[in-house]
Amino acid sequence: MLSIVGVNKKYSSQKIVDKKPFRIFFVIIKGAWLMYQCIIQEHGGFMRNFILKRGLRLFWSLVVFAVFFMTACSVEEEGPLYPPALSNKSDRTIDIPAQDTEYDFDLIEIIPTVYLSPSATMHDLSAVPFDYFVIEAVTEMQARMHTYQLVSHDGVTSRRDDNIDLYWKDFAKGYLLIDFLRAYFHEYSQKQNYGYNLQFVKEIRMYRTMTVVKPDGEEVLVHVNTLNEYKMNNPQNGHTTDNSFRMQDLITKYITKSPQNYRYFITSADYTGGSTGSAILEWTDMQRSYYSKERDVERIFFPSEPQNMAGTLRLRDVVRVELISK
């Protein structure tokens, strides 16, 4: 199940303090004061002198009791972990050509209007696959490392109706209907989810994305530019200073409060099975590693390790991190 994150809110794990013990403590103090007033009114000066003599000892006893009571009863618990918000800062933007643009005949596919509406009376529509626009701008490897958002001329986006951005495997199935500059995704039309079938498409926004898979199989989409960025020395790349993020931030901010209980199966965009394009990191490896965001050297690196460190753990073009219980 894929986590749906459609609202740009910043969540964090936070401590929740139970205030009930404090209320009980003040009720005790108030009750003791009222009892003292009653005793004084009933017995006069004798009891006043007696209480004053014993008052200091009683006061400190009450303080010790209160501290013990609140320590024993106060409950601090970690609040829930929330998935990150979708970023509003794209890593690349691709403009959609104007409505009167002419395309090569070999590019054009025909979409039957019955797919758009069972009662449609228009002729079948010419369409260009969305992957054409993307592959014109980046390599297919880079395409698989991003998720995709469509934006219309009037500012409406494909994130409406709480939609998440589309992975490449889904986005590449979509089309641009040339006559109307309308997005068309057959799968979502059949499900009556029209959020992705945007009208008057103006641009495609690409977001560098990693998917973190929880032990129960739930997938969490993380836009890389939502993570804190650090400029770090990368000894495995000739000691360049790379814009990077900490690998542990993928886990501790959004996924689990006990990361030491897992190993981390990491795969790259070209992973097809076996050991090529994959690595297993222990939590200690995650804590000491960073991920370079530099486009030409994008990979895991270890600032505290020597330049000739073995490349087994230094995976590049990472797209997926899967938690495996120990």
Out of 57-61, 122-126, 132-136, 158-162, give the one with best mean pLDDT.
Answer: 132-136
- pTM of the prediction? 0.72
* Cβ atoms 171, 225 nearer than 8 A: no
Strands 318-325 and 201-213: parallel
Q: Do residues 53 and 128 share a domain?
A: no
**How far apart are the C-alpha atoms of 4 and 29, rounded to whole Å?**
49
**Which range, of 57-71, 98-112, 280-294, averages the lowest pLDDT?**
57-71
Tell me what pLDDT residue 174 has. 94
Q: Do residues 107 and 177 share a domain?
A: yes
Tell me what pLDDT residue 53 has. 53
Checking if the pLDDT of 17 tops 90, the result is no
Q: How much is the average pLDDT of 161-182?
A: 92
Residue 81 lies in a domain: no
Residue 219 lies in a domain: no
Domain boundary at 141, 176, 207, which? 207
Number of neighbours of residue 148 by Cβ within 10 angstroms:
24
One-letter amino acid at 303 equals: P
C-alpha closest to that of 145 among 324, 308, 1, 268: 268
Number of neighbours of residue 57 by Cβ within 10 angstroms:
9
C-alpha closest to that of 170 among 134, 123, 117: 134
Residue 12 lies in a domain: no
**How far apart are the C-alpha atoms of 71 and 316, rounded to whole Å?**
49
Q: Do residues 28 and 59 share a domain?
A: yes
Range of the domain at 196: 92-207
Q: Do residues 69 and 99 share a domain?
A: no
Residue 153 lies in a domain: yes
Q: Do residues 155 and 124 share a domain?
A: yes
Q: How much is the average pLDDT of 211-237?
A: 93
Q: Do residues 101 and 203 share a domain?
A: yes
Q: Do residues 115 and 199 share a domain?
A: yes
More confident call, 179 vs 138 = 138
pLDDT, averaged across the chain: 79
Sign of CA dihedral 68, 73, 74, 80: positive
DSSP annotation string for 11-39: ----EEE--HHHHHHHHHHHHHHHHHHHH
Out of 110-114, 160-164, 216-220, give the one with best mean pLDDT.
Answer: 216-220
Q: Do residues 111 and 195 share a domain?
A: yes
Q: List the beta bridge partners of residue 157.
A: 151
Out of 38-47, 58-67, 295-304, 316-325, give the one with best mean pLDDT.
Answer: 316-325
Q: How much is the average pLDDT of 146-154?
A: 96
Q: Do residues 103 and 67 share a domain?
A: no
Residue 262 lies in a domain: yes
Checking if the pLDDT of 48 tops 80, the result is no
Residue 107 lies in a domain: yes
How many domains are contained in the chain? Answer: 3
Question: Quick one: the chain helix, strand, coil %, rounded to 5?
Answer: 30, 30, 40
**How far apart are the C-alpha atoms of 318 and 62, rounded to whole Å?**
59
Tell me what pLDDT residue 131 has. 96
Tell me what pLDDT residue 58 has. 55
| pLDDT band at 125; cut points 50, 70, 90 | confident
Tell me what pLDDT residue 300 has. 95
* Cβ atoms 6, 163 nearer than 8 A: yes
**How far apart are the C-alpha atoms of 266 and 292, rounded to whole Å?**
15
Checking if the pLDDT of 244 tops 90, the result is yes
Q: How is residue 237 written in tokens?
A: 């790349």
Residue 27 lies in a domain: yes
Residue 87 lies in a domain: no
**How far apart are the C-alpha atoms of 90 and 20, rounded to whole Å?**
46
Q: Do residues 183 and 236 share a domain?
A: no
